[in-house]
Amino acid sequence: MAASLKARLRAGEKLAGALVRMPSEDVVEMLAVAGLDFVLVDCEHGPADVGSLRHHIALAQVHGVPVLVRIGEGEHHLAARALDQGAQGIVAPHVESAADAEALVRAVRFPPRGTRGFATYPRAGRFGTVSAADHRAAAESTLVIAMLESPAAIGDAAAIVAVAGIDGYLVGTADLAAARGPDDPSVADLLAAVRADPGTASVVRVDLASGAAGAAEAFADGAQVVVHNVAHVLMETFRALSLR
C-alpha cells in the first residue's frame, strides 16, 4: 500500500497537486495520468455534492492518486462525509483562531479525541471489511490544512498551527486581500510575516500556484506543497488558443 500524503510529508517530500472543481472527472483522470501527487477537490467554490465527490475520489483512487477536499467555511459535516468516502485529508477555509482549529480537528477525529461518527461500512472502511482497529489506525493519516484568509488569522497563525492535529497552513491570498482594512499591511507583507513566523516553521506550508514557474518559485521559497489552480491554467491555455 502506498504511503499516505501525511507520511510522505513527514518524510520530507515536496508534493505537487491540483485544485479542481466538480464536475471534473476527465480533468482528475488527466492529472493522475500526468503524475500529480494529489488532487484537491474544491467544495467551497464548487458544487458541494457528496455523490459527485464520491465519484471523483473513486476515480482518482483507481489511478492511485489521493484526494484532499476543501470544504466550505465551518462545514464540518461535509469533512466527515468526505473522509468516509475515502478522502485523505481536509483543507478548511477561514480558520480564524485556535478555537476554530480545535473545532476542525474535533470534527475529523474519532472519539475520544473528536466527534466524528464511527463506521467501517463506507468506502474508507472498505464497506465493512476492515477491523475497527485498522479503521482507527488509517484515520491517523488524515491530513488537515488550515487556510488563513484574514489579517487576524495571519496574526494568530502560530496559535492556529500549534493546535494538535493541524498539519499545515495555506494562505488564501484572494480572501486575504478582500479582508484587508485600510490600515492593514499589504498582502505581500502579511505573507512575509506568516512565513517568517517561527511558530509556523514546524508545520507544512502549502502554496497556490498558477503554473510551473510559480510552483518552482514557491518550492524554492520554502513551500513543501504546491497546489496548481487548474481553472487558471486552463483559462490561460484557452485564451492563448483564441489569439489571432
Contact 142, 148 (CB under 8 A): no
d(CA 175, CA 195): 17
Instruction: From the candidates 45, 63, 77, 94, give the one annotated as an active-site residue.
Output: 45
The answer to whether the bond into 23 is cis (omega within 30° of 0) is: yes
- In the chain, how long is the greatest CA-to-CA distance? 62
Dihedral angle of Cα 17, 20, 24, 25, to the nearest 10 degrees: 30
E-strand ranges in the chain read 15-21, 38-42, 67-70, 89-92, 143-148, 168-171, 204-209, 225-229
Look up 135 and say whether it is catalytic. Answer: no
* The three three-digit cell numbers of residue 183, written as one number: 490600515
Contact 96, 153 (CB under 8 A): yes
Cα 55 versus chain centre, distance:
18
User: Which residue matches cell numbers 488527466?
Assistant: 30
Active site members: 45
